[in-house]
């Protein structure tokens, strides 16, 4: 079951990096990771036999693998979960941030995308949003009215987590 193709590939990469295996060998090693004969045959004919002629990079391999194995309905579910992701009434900022970043990872969203950052912020509970805006405003005042810019999701999450610990 490769419904979680991106997570599967992330874990696959993690193991091969830890084993210090050259990435030019990674496509062939996918065969060790699939059990089904028809899936193996698909990998051989569409990835291994084509690497590096038409499938030129590991990113190309990941794209082909994901397109083939991702279940469309699962992808739609993850997209819907992302679009409706909000901090629940009694949920900690940490738990919300973990859910949000997991969805971003599964969808392949970039952490410096301003719309992703905005979506995270809008999903926070109103009191957490207010604390964040107040803190940013105070930081701006302390910085001679120069705007404080947090341009990565990681930075915004760290600040919201720090603020949640003050409560």
Question: 151, 162 in Cβ contact below 8 A?
Answer: no
In Å, what is the CA distance from 108 to each residue of 47, 114, 162? 21, 14, 26
Q: For all residues of the chain together, what is the average pLDDT? A: 88
Q: What is the pLDDT of residues 118-148, one digit of tens each?
A: 999 999 999 999 988 888 888 888 878 887 7
Coil vs helix vs strand at 88:
coil
Coil vs helix vs strand at 105:
helix
What is the pTM (predicted TM-score) of this model? 0.59
- Which residue is it, tokens 């919201």? 160
155/95 Cα distance (integer angstroms): 16
């Amino acid at each position: 079951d490769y419904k979680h193709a991106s997570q599967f590939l992330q874990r696959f990469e993690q193991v091969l990096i830890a084993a210090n295996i050259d990435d030019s060998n990674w496509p062939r090693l996918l065969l060790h990771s699939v059990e089904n004969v028809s899936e193996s045959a698909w990998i051989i004919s569409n990835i291994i036999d084509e690497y590096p002629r038409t499938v030129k990079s590991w990113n190309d391999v990941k794209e082909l693998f994901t397109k083939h194995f991702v279940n469309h309905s699962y992808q739609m579910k993850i997209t819907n979960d992302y679009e409706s992701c909000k901090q629940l009434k009694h949920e900690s900022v940490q738990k919300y941030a973990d859910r949000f970043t997991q969805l971003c990872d599964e969808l392949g969203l970039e952490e410096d995308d301003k719309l992703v950052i905005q979506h995270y912020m809008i999903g926070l509970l109103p009191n957490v949003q207010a604390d964040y805006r107040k803190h940013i405003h105070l930081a701006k005042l302390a910085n001679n009215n120069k705007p404080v810019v947090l341009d990565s999701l990681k930075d915004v999450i760290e600040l919201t987590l720090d603020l949640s610990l003050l409560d």
